Structure 1
Amino acid sequence: MRKSVSNRSIAFVAASVMLALGLFAISPVRAADSVGSVTQISGNAQIERGGATLAAQQGTPVLVQDKVTTQPGAAMTLGFVDGSSIGLSGSTSIAIRDRGTVNGQTIASQVTLISGDIHTVVPDKPGQPPVEVNTENSKATEASPNQ
């Protein structure tokens, strides 16, 4: 009887450890994985990430391969570490397609406009690569006014 209880205890502890390791594998987004974050939001918006849909809130990190969508009447601003930002109006969807590194900081380097309207603010910084905004049917590259 005592050996059976001992075996069950060991099995319970082993299962708990395996479950904990599995939960840590699905840990929250690390800051190092982020290319930006939601800096302002009014109304409802979602972020599709890895098959899951998250409610966007101020401070929510944005990753490469995320699809960000605002609902009708909503507005959202995504801010990036280089000081650039993208404002999304209602009924807008974008996808963060690629990232780059500027002065050791990871930033979104390619964004696809799927539908709707955006407003971008990109500070003019020497040595910074041009910003790309892609739509489903065409591609527009914005170069610095000094180039």
Structure 2
Amino acid sequence: MRRITRPSTALIGAAALLGLLSVNSAVRADDSVGSVTQVSGSAQIQRGGATLAAQQGTPVKLHDEVTTQPGASVTLGFADGSSIALSGNTSIAIEDSAMVNGQTVPSRVTLINGDIHTIVPDKTTGQQHSIEVNTANSKATGPAPN
């Protein structure tokens, strides 16, 4: 093992290591992929065995399960401008995420039961694609492919 004899070299090395540790901790501390943007009625988020009330501004994280009660609705918003609206008696799970323009967004969401409506902006045309899915039917609308 090599011994550092110059205090300035040791200080710079320690500062660099602490800087790397704090950057990694910050990245891990905020693992949200979006947030609750609207809620009406009662909705919950299951996270790591805990149940949280879904309220406006509540972060949504990878592996969360979001559930609405009958007659309730909740909308989840994401950094890329997309959103998912859950109607009453609906459950989804945030299964996976991806980096889009330096921001983490969901890349796979599972509809466990119920109805969702999602809006996905097309970055090249500026138009929005709309997808409606329920456990019995599905429908996708948007601009015609080029």
- TM-score, normalised relative to structure 2: 0.67
CA contact (8 A) 1:112 1:134 kept: no
SS in 2 for 1:118: strand
Q: Which runs of 5+ in 2 are unaligned?
A: 1-27, 125-131
The answer for the alignment partner of 1:60 in structure 2 is 58
Q: 1:143, CA displacement in angstroms?
A: 9.9
Query: Which residue in the other structure is 1:96 paired with?
Result: 94
Query: Partners in 2 of 1:66 and 1:119 — Cα distance?
Result: 18
The CA distance in 2 between the partners of 1:51 and 1:100, in whole Å, is 24
Contact 2:66-2:92 at 8 Å conserved across structures: yes
Partner of 1:49: 47
Distance 1:145 1:100, change over 3 A: farther
Match of 1:18 in 2: none
Change (3 A) 1:89 1:135: closer
Displacement, 1:146?
3.8
* TM-score where L is the length of structure 1: 0.67
Higher strand residue share: 2
Equivalence for 2:20: none
Q: Distance in 2 between matches of 1:103 and 1:92?
A: 30
- Deviating runs (4+, > 3 A) in structure 1? 133-136, 140-147
Number of positions where the alignment pairs a residue of Structure 1 with one of Structure 2: 115
Query: Equivalent pairs: percent with the same residue?
Result: 66
Cα shift at 1:125: 1.5
Supply the RMSD in Å over aligned alpha carbons.
3.1
Please say if residues 94 and 111 of structure 1, whose CA atoms lie closer than 8 Å, have aligned partners that are also in contact: yes
Other structure's SS at 1:109 match: strand
Question: How many angstroms does 1:135 deviate by?
Answer: 8.3
Which amino acid in the other structure matches residue 52 of structure 1? A
CA distance in 1, matches of 2:42, 2:134: 23
Which residue of structure 2 lines up, in the alignment, with residue 76 of structure 1? 74
Corresponding residue for 1:23?
Answer: none
Structure 1 partner of 2:103? 105
**Could you tell me how far apart the structure 2 residues matched to 1:73 and 1:141 are?**
24
